Structure 1
């Protein structure tokens, strides 16, 4: 009897009682694997994930790929009454006219200067702000600061330009009065060509720097915390921990964002530039985006303006591929 009792106790301890089979395991069964070769079964298993793709696919199909049909008018003398197919073919004539236009060097120079200013000032400030926010240990303070720096992103450029006009308005703008009293001058910041670019860069920093920290803060959350503890034990200060652990930990994210930023260099932003442009600062304010609007919409040169926009897009593609290849050449993780 004692041997039978011990045997039952042993079986119960291993999950095998009177009502269970001794040869079966007590572990929960895994769901059956979906064969990857059968797309119908695969789609049925992940149908909700594919459903989430629909809005993005529709957006890019309607607003990104469908308009590419109209790019062909860059090689035609487009006449609205004849349509895209009925307009006569002129080849690269519009591109030749654009490159030989006296405005081309000025447009290229203005666009590149603004692009490099935004890339060299606004982009690093986004990383610096993310690093500063990452060092804040008080949770409520960190969330408050994040909210405050995110808010300007949701304001339209019309509101940003209106605020700029109120702050720098001649004779009554508070910043106009303060800066002129400090410098002892009487500068009209909104009309002076020398102040147009600083104002554009300051607007870009105020509006988008906080929003740009989201991706970098997400990357900072993936850095191994054990490395910080080891560095503290070794006597590394806060700056050295940031330099030797934090920045290398988000290097791949920085490179990817830099490649995307370089690809968008010539897209200086139509709304911002257009709203801040006036007759006195037009010499430094005209860029490709505003030029396309003035020539294409106000003057009706549809084919010529399309050629200008296509040139800008092709330059952006070349910059993306070139920067990505350069990153791969230095053994860094690129965009693709």
Structure 2
């Protein structure tokens, strides 16, 4: 019996059919997904109009900008406005207030929704849980004009609910002008912001808690873990990636100390008594750049703030990626 030797590999490779895949262009993919592209198009237009086109105004920071001449007719002066910013004696207190208020919000306001979500997750009565969620969500949907009006009315010297309650409890002996005392302004500002946003911010963390594997809780119960141990060893590690992402984003906004809330609580910035503790970069740009018509100077301050925020975002992401398992990129 004659045994034939197998054909060489080169021959087998030549006999196999060659499948040639036709390259499709980008436009072909877009046309095939035209319905999805139409859905995305409004978001892209919104992003271009309100995020990318305004970046053209950054040029004013390097010009002696004049409204009548425009960007192309205004003379270029380089980094003159940036030198004025750092030599301005009023800018350093503004920077200190901005960093201090942002740090207080990072310390107290950032973990507040996390704590509320953890507490609501432990509530066993669904009816009570829904009531608390509804009440805590409502302030988010009120504008700062309404919220500031409520705060000003509550803290008023005459017939203010806070002063009346403290007088009835004999905590104070005479009404206190809370919004004209610099020592109380930061506490009022931070607590008002927490009250307004704590309920809405807890939605994300409640969703993250709902995504934790229930088998982990069952295993913890079998091991004899109580509520606190389940919270510490199961719930918190389960939502740690979400908390890390939002912490990185919060650090990246370290120079965004607020604008509407501060402006309204200080009577559109006219309360001179609170100027030393309430003047932040955004209100400073509003007062100097728009009110005093120093457009280029205001753009230079805003550009400085944006550069610092981006730098802090990159640093926070680097530290999270190096010391943890979650990062933005």
Same fold, judged at TM 0.5 (above): yes
- From the superposition, tell whether residues 216 and 50 of structure 1 become closer, same or farther in structure 2 (CA, over 3 Å): farther
Using structure 1 for the length normalisation, give the TM-score.
0.86
Match for residue 146 of structure 1 among 111, 115, 133: 133
Matched residues, number? 302
Q: Provide closer, same or farther for how the CA distance between residues 214 and 50 of structure 1 changes in structure 2, counting only shifts above 3 A.
A: farther
Post-superposition Cα deviations, 1:244-265, rounded to whole Å, max 9, x if no partner, equal: 1111111111110001111112
**Displacement after TM superposition at 1:309 (Å):** 0.6
In structure 2, relative to structure 1, the CA distance for the partners of 1:92 and 1:216 (3 Å cut) is same
1:85: how far off?
1.2
Give the structure 2 partner of residue 168 of structure 1.
155
Match of 1:114 among 89, 98, 101: 101
Mean Cα displacement is larger for which, 168-177 or 39-48? 39-48
Query: How many angstroms apart in 2 are the aligned matches of 1:260 and 1:185?
Result: 43
* SS at structure 1 position matched to 2:135: helix
Contact 1:115 1:266 in 2 (8 A): yes
Q: Which residue of 2 aligns with 1:255?
A: 244
Q: Partner of 1:91 in structure 2?
A: 78
Say whether the 8 Å CA contact 2:157–2:175 is kept in structure 1.
Answer: no
Match of 2:193 in 1: 204
2:124 is aligned to 137
Q: Decide which of 275, 284, 287 is 1:291's aligned counterpart.
A: 284
How far residue 41 of structure 1 moved from its aligned partner, in angstroms, is 5.4
**Separation in structure 2 between the aligned mates of residue 40 and residue 218 of structure 1, nearest angstrom:** 38
The answer (yes or no) to whether the contact 1:36–1:42 under 8 Å persists in 2 is no
Show structure 1 runs of 5+ residues with no match: 1-34
Instruction: Tell me whether 1:237 sits opposite 2:230 in the alignment.
Output: no
- After superposition, the CA RMSD in angstroms is 1.7
Do the aligned partners of 1:176 and 1:189 also contact (CA within 8 Å) in 2? no
1:194 aligns with 2:183: yes
**Inter-partner Cα distance in structure 2 for 1:137 and 1:43:** 50
Unaligned runs of 5+ in 2: 1-21
* Corresponding position: 1:79 with 2:66: yes
Give TM-score scaled by structure 2 length.
Answer: 0.88
Q: For residue 55 of structure 1, what is the aligned residue in structure 2?
A: 42
2:258 equivalent to 1:269: yes
